[in-house]
Amino acid sequence: MSTLCRQYGVSRKTGYKWLQRLRSEGWEGLRDRSRRPHRSPRRTSAEVEALVCTLRTEHPAWGGRKLHHVLRGDGVLHPPAPSTITGILDRTGLLAAERRRQRDWQRFEEARPNGLWQMDFKGHFATGEGRCHPLTVLDDHSRFNVSLVACSNERAETVQQHLKHAFQRYGLPLRMLMDNGSPWGSDATNRHTHLTAWLIRLGITVLHGRPYHPQTQGKEERFHRTLTEEVLARQPSWTGLGEVQCAFAAWRDVYNLRRPHEALDHATPASRYQPSSRPFPITLAPIEYAPGDQVRKVQDKGRISFRGREFLVSRAFIGQPVALRPQADGVWDVYYCHQRVRRISFASTDA
């Protein structure tokens, strides 16, 4: 026995085990056997597996980590580990193909709620009554969605109306970030619009992302992807804006109140958000500048006259007063309310 075991590279114990199987079961006893244990006392219960499958069916885009934290939040005493949940989804045919994306950007986050809101339109799509243009506004710190509206167009009046509702409900943010498209962006010469002028008048600092750099609004881009996966992709056609808005409203509650967010250590956006202490004003206060400012009224075509020359500011501020403050020799900064909107130079021929 010792010589045979050395020849075939097995222990004496294994050799005697095979010999005993041969004597008791014949040649069939030497076939490979499963190493699966006869019983699994720590196996996830059928009730919890059913909960996992139910949640996954309700939210097909949620993976093991999100489902683990939802089960824990729902009071499941010992929820399965995320890897175990992934195994359950795999066994039951509910596991989608994993997608891995390389991240070459660096994450940033506003320090407090309402320090920065991001705003954008998601790509429009067809309904039975026309095109739907989803308007989305997100708090940068908490990822809390403050506005999700199915709009029929992307005009400034439409955006302003829905922003008023958001401001009345949640207060005013300190800053708002948006891209350079209509209705809140324009060309490099007239970067501001009547909509952004209204926001500045409310005391909100307007920021525009770098052209052709969508990662500047990465949280909005990620929100749009989630909206597509969890709402839009689940229904191939829509009868009209009313049906879309009903779906948006129901999902918005899930997103803000129930869906764990990995960037928030699996907390919900609502747990990190609180309304702003700056209320939406009923009437706008008059525009006032410091005593030493050089104040000019923006004329037709968005220009001002200053020291014998005309300078372009922006058509968005026609009829409004702006203030000029000196910087270096011959260089002046132009302010509308609290925000610098232009820099002019007497040395430049671009006026």
Question: Per the structure block, which two tokens stand in for 290?
Answer: 């410091």
Q: What does the pLDDT read at residue 41?
A: 58
Q: What does the pLDDT read at residue 55?
A: 83
Q: Residue holding tokens 């954008």?
A: 120
Partners of 343 in the β-ladder: 333
Q: What does the pLDDT read at residue 190?
A: 65
Q: Could you list the mean pLDDT of each consecutive 10-residue stretch along the chain, which spans 351 residues?
A: 86 87 85 67 74 81 81 81 81 61 53 94 94 96 96 96 97 93 74 93 90 70 93 92 96 93 88 95 92 94 92 93 91 94 78 51
Q: What does the pLDDT read at residue 160?
A: 97
Partners of 125 in the β-ladder: 132
User: How far, in Å, CA of 145 to CA of 136, rounded?
Assistant: 7
Q: What does the pLDDT read at residue 39?
A: 60
Long-range contacts of 267-273 (CB under 8 A, 24+ apart): 269/139, 269/142, 269/143, 269/144, 269/145, 270/142, 270/144, 271/142, 272/113, 272/141, 272/142, 272/143, 272/144, 273/113, 273/139, 273/141, 273/142, 273/144
| Domain assignments of the chain as residue spans, ordered by start | 1-32, 46-91, 117-272, 294-345
Confidence (pTM):
0.71
CA 188 to chain centre: 27
Question: Helix or strand or coil: residue 49?
Answer: helix
Contact residues for 344 (Cβ-Cβ < 8 A; gap 6+) = 306, 311, 324, 331, 332, 334, 351
Q: What does the pLDDT read at residue 104?
A: 43
Q: What does the pLDDT read at residue 35?
A: 66
CATH 3.40.50.920 fits 117-272, yes or no: no
Q: What does the pLDDT read at residue 31?
A: 81
Give me the sign of the Cα torsion angle 144, 199, 116, 189: positive
